[in-house]
Structure 1
Amino acid sequence: MRGFVSILFFLGISATPILSQTLVEPNQNFVWESFSFVFPETVVVKWESTSSKKLTVYPAKRDGFFMVVRTLPWNEPLDDKTLWKDSVFTKAIEPKQFQKSLGNQNFQIFQADQVRNQNALRNQVWIGLESKPALWIWIQWKSDRKDLTEFFESNLFLPL
């Protein structure tokens, strides 16, 4: 097996998912998998080319938030709603669940606060109800960043 990996390396063939990254300026429209996003500050965007496509977004200059976006391989991701909350929200404080319509898109949103590594954090998971492929967005930001709270809770990251 070790020899096989060495041959792959020698030929320049990677056994890991292909990663790409780019720098995106604030308020610039960024399109990925036919979905459009806007970010509140300069960010680094990384995407993986695997069977389940994944986009990871984090600030380029200062700490404060991150976002993970995935396309899901099934049409109805809400079969077990507690599974979604438990998979993202560790020791959730005041968990909420609500629906929101933006343009012609409907989303199921799970939201909760939590304390992690002495940081007060706000979490939201957005699940596209009609989008094909199914869209899943996890956003986490520091609660003391009021500019980010306004940006994410006002849906400014999804220019629909």
Structure 2
Amino acid sequence: MVSVLIFLGISTFPILSQTVIGPNQNFVWEGFSFVFPETVVVKLETTANKKLSVYPAKRDGFFMVVRTLPWNEPLIDKFLWKESVFTRGTEPKEIQKTVGNLNFQIFQADQIRNQNALRNQVWIGLDTKPGLWIWIQWKTDRKDLTEFFESNLFLPL
């Protein structure tokens, strides 16, 4: 049955909406504000937890996945996802950062995937309710993106 649905082009994933957002426009989702460095397509999806996916509309370079989670602390047993995010990551780092009045635990690692040098960051809100989880991946040759994401300009708090 599922293969028939896929063959017919019918999606079995419930996408609530898809929107184009211009650069530097404030986008609010679940009470959290985001700004993007270029025009993006934003997809709101329903899963076990709420999920926002962000992709560039015009050129390749980065993607972002934002989720709300039922927990808001990076406990050791909660990090089973860490290996899947940082597959063969090099120079992994773990830092804490305060943005506005929110504290984040940030995991960062570089990796080579499909002959692209990539930077991965996972931001976990330490004092957000619901729990906030942000996964950002961008090509390291896009210096504009490195400055944008590492200076946390995507969180206009």
Is residue 52–residue 70 contact of structure 1 (8 Å, CA) maintained in 2?
yes
Q: In the alignment, is residue 134 of structure 1 matched against residue 131 of structure 2?
A: yes
Q: Match of 1:149?
A: 146
Ranges in structure 2 where 5+ consecutive residues have no aligned partner: 2-10
Structure 1 unpaired stretches of 5+: 3-13
Structure 1 residue 44 corresponds to structure 2 residue 44:
no
The separation in 2 between residues aligned to 1:102 and 1:151, in whole angstroms, is 14
For 2:64, the equivalent position in structure 1 comes to 67
Q: Distance in 1 between matches of 2:13 and 2:117?
A: 34
**Distance between the aligned counterparts of 2:138 and 2:47, measured in 1?**
26
Match for residue 120 of structure 2 among 118, 123, 130 = 123
- Structure 2 counterpart of 1:79, one-letter code: I
CA contact (8 A) 1:18 1:50 kept: no
Q: Which segment drifts farther, 83-92 or 97-106?
A: 83-92
Which one is further off, 39-48 or 74-83?
74-83
C-alpha distance after superposition, 1:29-56 (max 9, x if no partner): 0000000000000000001123300000
Q: Which amino acid aligns with 1:33?
A: E
Aligned to 2:25: 28
Q: Percent identity?
A: 81
Q: TM-score, normalised by structure 1?
A: 0.87
2: distance between equivalents of 1:150 and 1:130?
Answer: 25
Pick closer, same or farther for the CA change 1:132–1:57 going to 2, 3 Å.
Answer: same
Q: Which whole-Å CA distance do the structure 1 matches of 2:13 and 2:137 have between them?
A: 27
2:14 and 2:46 in contact (8 A); partners too? yes
Which secondary structure state, in structure 1, belongs to the residue aligned with residue 80 of structure 2?
A: helix
Give the Cα–Cα distance (whole angstroms) in 2 for the partners of residues 16 and 26 of structure 1. Answer: 28
Deviation at 1:122, TM superposition (A): 0.4
8 Å contact kept, 1:54–1:70? yes
Counterpart Cα distance in 2 of 1:109 and 1:45:
23
Aligned match of 1:107:
104
- Pick closer, same or farther for the CA change 1:15–1:151 going to 2, 3 Å: closer
**Correspondence for 1:53:** 50
Question: Which secondary structure state, in structure 2, belongs to the residue aligned with residue 150 of structure 1?
Answer: helix
> Aligned to 2:128, what secondary structure does the other structure show?
coil
Q: Deviations over 1:86-133 (max 9, x none)?
A: 131000010000000011100000000000000000000000001000
Q: 3-state SS of the aligned residue for 1:137?
A: strand
Paired letter, 2:57: A
2:60 counterpart letter in structure 1? D
**1:74 Cα deviation after fit:** 2.2
Aligned residues: 149
